[in-house]
């Protein structure tokens, strides 16, 4: 599937710092040393009710990762999926009496538009679950043949007990896992499972639902976790630098993915860092498709909100924090964008070198975008109060803000 167009990333003088980022699996900061080509897999949307501010906040975090890496003169190999067949998508299509393929295509198209407007850098490989099925089937067969998967009424389940490292990504106890499994797409109460946590790898065809040839498996469709493993291993291989998503993906999704990959390859971990963004709330509750308490990027755009202001609203919150979207958050971002634009509209200004170093330092320090914004605020305030004589400083600032924060001034 095609991604979306890349906005240009201006090259800056000097070089950025290596990224230190929080890894859920070790619950600490790790300094990544990716080599010349950094590899990142970010879990993509399930294409209905896209793109809400929660989605945008999560993709913003991983866009910053890319920008930090690019600023260290590395290339970035970025892979993202689209879960274009899964229970919640099919349920929504049925509820609204629309074709599930059309729904997925329409929402994916909207997501591309929103990502483009927000200047999020596109993945090099943007892969749908459906197009990944030919690569998923052999992995499920291999897991079954290795004794790590079993059949239950035609469905194939992964046995979490086959992985000695199971639990090392999310570090949760069994009771917490069981609760989250029930909340997040698992079926811990289904009778006949070896372990209530075992996730489905392949679901045999259900009446009235789409299904695909499964080789030596029954006709059916893929489970959720194996989808991302198949795509990640196919395009990045084991031991890539970051697997990313919102914090609601740590368990079960990333835990199960690491387990599938461990059994398939004998290696751990699949990703050197598991990076999770906080949850954005609206009216006191996590913004979620199931609750319907959503603010859409496309609605704001249609109302005439500058996408750069939306992006600044996201950047004003640390990516690991849980935070709440309010009108005030957006008003503050609009005001900040105005101040910054006024400050860079003059030909000269206060020196900019320290500011560029401060932005770099802030982002390299676990993506501390709020600290980067404060540094730019300081420069803009100085420009407004006293001005400066450095010719071209405003240009330097505007290129740095564009390259490192994705905001076009
Ligand atoms: N297709 C799967 C991943 S393979 C999926 O979780 N899709 S999603 O559409 O539900 O979410 C897409 C991304 O947005 C995930 O990383 C998810 O963690 C993140 N996300 C969802 N809701 C929020 C929220 N309220 N705040 C922050 N991030 C969110
Ligand atoms: Zn995923």
The 3-class secondary structure across the chain, one letter per residue, is: CCCCCCCCCCCCCCCCCCCEEEECCCCEEEECCCCCEEEEEECCCCCCCCCEHHHHHHHHHHHHHHHHHHHCCCEEEEEEEECCCCHHHHHHHHHCCCCHHHHHHHHHHHHHHHHHHCCCCCCCEEEEHHHHHHHHHHHHHHHHHCCCEEEECCEEEECHHHCCCCCCCCCCCHHHHHHHHHHCCCCCCCCCCCCCCCCEEEEECCCCCCCECCCCCCCEEECHHHHHHHHHHHHCCCCEEEEEEEHHHHHHHHHHHHHHHHHHHCCCCCEEEEEEECCEEECCEECCCCCCCCCEHHHHHHCCCCHHHHHHHHHCCCCCCCEECCHHHHHHHHHHHHHHHHHHCCCEECCCHHHHHHHHHHHHECCCHHHHHHHHHHHHHHHHHCCCCEECHHHHHHHHHHHHHCCCC
Report the residue among 1, 24, 41, 44 best suited for mutation to probe ligand 1: largest number of ligand atoms under 8 A from its CB.
44
* pLDDT single digits (tens) 315-341: 999 999 999 999 999 999 999 999 999
Among the bound ligands, the one closest to the CA of 55 = 1
Over range 45-73, report the average pLDDT: 97
What integer pLDDT is reported at residue 10 of this predicted model?
97
Length of the chain: 409
Q: Which residues pair with 39 in a beta bridge?
A: 77
Q: Is the pLDDT assigned to residue 135 strictly greater than 90? A: yes
pLDDT in tens, 232-251: 999 999 999 999 999 999 99
pLDDT value at position 289? 80
pLDDT at 16 (0 to 100): 95
388 alpha carbon to ligand 1 midpoint, in Å?
A: 44
Q: Say what percent of the chain tops pLDDT 90.
A: 98
Is 43 a pocket residue for ligand 1 (Cβ < 6 Å)?
Answer: yes
Closest atom, ligand 1, to C-alpha of 42: 16
**Mean pLDDT of all residues in 198-202:** 98
Nearest CA residue ID for atom 8, ligand 1: 45
Bridge-partner residues for 277, per DSSP?
A: 246
What b/e string do you get for 340-378 counting C-beta neighbours within 10 Å, with b at 16 or more? Answer: bbebbeeeebbebeebbebbbebbbebbbbeebbebbee
For residue 83, the CA-to-ligand 2 centroid distance in Å is 8
Please tell me the distance from the alpha carbon of residue 282 to that of residue 267, in angstroms, as a whole number: 40
Atom 6 (ligand 1) nearest CA? 45
Residue 122: which pLDDT band, with cuts at 50, 70 and 90?
Answer: very high
Residue 108, ligand 1, Cβ within 6 A: no
Kindly report whether the global pTM for this prediction surpasses the value 0.85: yes
pLDDT average, residue stretch 6-23: 96
- For the cut 90, the answer to whether the pLDDT of residue 290 exceeds it is no
What pLDDT does 288 receive? 85
- Whose C-alpha lies nearest to ligand 1, atom 9? 45
Cα angle 305, 364, 44; round to 5: 55
pLDDT in tens, 352-376: 999 999 999 999 999 999 999 999 9
Tokens coding 43 = 């879990």
Complete domains list, the chain, with CATH: 20-297 (3.40.50.620), 304-405 (1.20.120.640)
């Amino acid at each position: 599937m095609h991604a979306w167009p890349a906005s240009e990333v201006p090259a800056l003088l000097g070089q950025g710092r290596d990224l230190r980022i929080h890894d859920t699996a070790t619950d600490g900061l790790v300094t990544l040393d990716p080599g010349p080509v950094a590899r990142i897999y970010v879990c993509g949307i399930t294409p209905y009710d896209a793109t809400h501010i929660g989605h945008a906040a999560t993709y913003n975090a991983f866009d910053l990762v890319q920008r930090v890496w690019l600023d260290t003169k590395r290339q970035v190999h970025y892979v993202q999926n689209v879960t274009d067949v899964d229970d919640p998508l099919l349920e929504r299509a049925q509820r609204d009496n629309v074709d599930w393929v059309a729904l997925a295509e329409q929402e994916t198209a909207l997501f591309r538009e929103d990502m483009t407007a927000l200047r999020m850098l596109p993945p090099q490989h943007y892969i749908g679950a459906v197009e990944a099925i030919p690569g998923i089937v052999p992995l499920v067969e291999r897991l079954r043949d290795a004794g790590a998967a079993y059949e239950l009424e035609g469905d194939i389940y992964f046995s979490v007990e086959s992985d000695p490292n199971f639990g090392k990504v999310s570090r949760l106890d069994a009771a917490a896992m069981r609760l989250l499994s029930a909340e997040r797409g698992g079926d811990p109460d289904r009778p006949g499972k070896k372990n209530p946590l075992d996730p489905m790898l392949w679901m045999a065809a259900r009446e009235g639902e789409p299904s695909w040839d499964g080789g030596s498996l029954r006709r059916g469709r893929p489970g959720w976790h194996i989808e991302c493993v198949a795509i990640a291993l196919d395009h990045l291989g084991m031991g890539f630098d970051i697997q990313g998503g919102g914090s609601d993906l740590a368990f079960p999704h990333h835990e199960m993915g690491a387990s599938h990959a461990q059994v398939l390859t004998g290696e751990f971990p699949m990703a050197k860092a598991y990076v999770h963004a906080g949850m954005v709330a609206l009216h006191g509750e996590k913004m979620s498709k199931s609750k319907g308490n959503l603010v859409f990027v496309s609605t704001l755009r249609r109302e005439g909100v500058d996408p750069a202001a939306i992006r600044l609203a996201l950047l004003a919150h640390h990516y690991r924090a849980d935070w709440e979207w309010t009108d005030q958050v957006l008003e503050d971002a609009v005001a900040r964008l105005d101040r910054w634009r006024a400050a860079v509209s003059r030909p000269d200004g206060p020196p900019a070198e320290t500011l560029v170093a401060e932005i770099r330092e802030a982002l390299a320090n676990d993506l501390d975008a709020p600290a980067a914004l404060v540094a730019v605020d300081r420069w803009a305030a100085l420009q407004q109060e006293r001005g400066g004589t450095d010719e071209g400083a405003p240009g330097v600032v505007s290129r740095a803000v564009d390259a490192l924060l994705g905001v076009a001034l």
